[in-house]
Amino acid sequence: MSDNQVFMDPFMLMEEKDEACLRSIPPGYRFKPRDDEIINFYLRPKIFGLPLPPNRIKEVFLYNYDPQTLTAMSNNALSNGVGNEYYFFTPRDRKYANGSRPARNAGNGYWKATGADKLICRKGKKIGLKKSLVFYQGKPPKGVKTNWLMHEYVLTDAPIRKRLGNEDMRLDDWVLCRVYKNPRVKS
């Protein structure tokens, strides 16, 4: 092999192909999948290591950052090209070593669940859950509510992750999150 040959990262090639495909779509088309499509076409393949359709969904440790930092890291490039919607694949960690509740501290605040989980079905079959969360700045219980919202999508039949030891706090490998600003609240 000569010194002139360049090794190409196969993931970079896939991202370039995805980006070229997305740029070829005519103006007016938007990435606005329904809840069942998010779970069936994006989250399920991600969890089971299958190919994903072209997309701009980033992998990030979402719970390490507050929403402003997270969107700035994405260069404020919207996942769907319009609105204030950002889509992320992220792992979740446990809140307690022996528990199954997810830790939701994030940057300078925390995500607080609001309302009941919504069951997501496709063709009459339960395929996932959608949890709604609101971002609060500060520490609980004295945090200040912001206009940042998140929908966290979880697959109902995801394989149970094996713990690698008592120090392993990972709850699951992947959930899909849609982060956006509440359109009804002025910034």
From the list 60, 114, 115, the residue with the least C-alpha distance to 92 is 60
pLDDT value at residue 4: 45
3-class state of residue 104 by DSSP:
coil
Pick the CATH number of 10-181 from 2.170.150.80, 3.90.1150.170, 3.90.1150.10, 2.40.30.110: 2.170.150.80
pLDDT value at residue 8: 42
pLDDT value at residue 65: 92
pLDDT value at residue 5: 47
3-class state of residue 44 by DSSP:
helix
pTM, full prediction: 0.81
pLDDT value at residue 131: 96
| Cα–Cα distance for residue pair 134/111, rounded to 1 Å | 5
Residues 6+ apart with CB under 8 A from 183: 83, 84
pLDDT value at residue 7: 44
pLDDT value at residue 14: 58
pLDDT value at residue 10: 47
Tokens 């605040």 sit on residue: 109
| Cα–Cα distance for residue pair 164/158, rounded to 1 Å | 18
Give, for all 187 residues of the chain, the pLDDT tens digit: 444 444 444 444 556 776 776 676 666 667 789 999 999 999 999 999 999 988 888 899 999 999 988 888 766 555 555 557 899 999 988 888 877 888 888 989 999 999 999 999 999 999 999 999 999 999 998 999 999 999 999 999 888 877 777 777 877 879 999 999 887 776 5
pLDDT value at residue 3: 47
pLDDT value at residue 53: 87
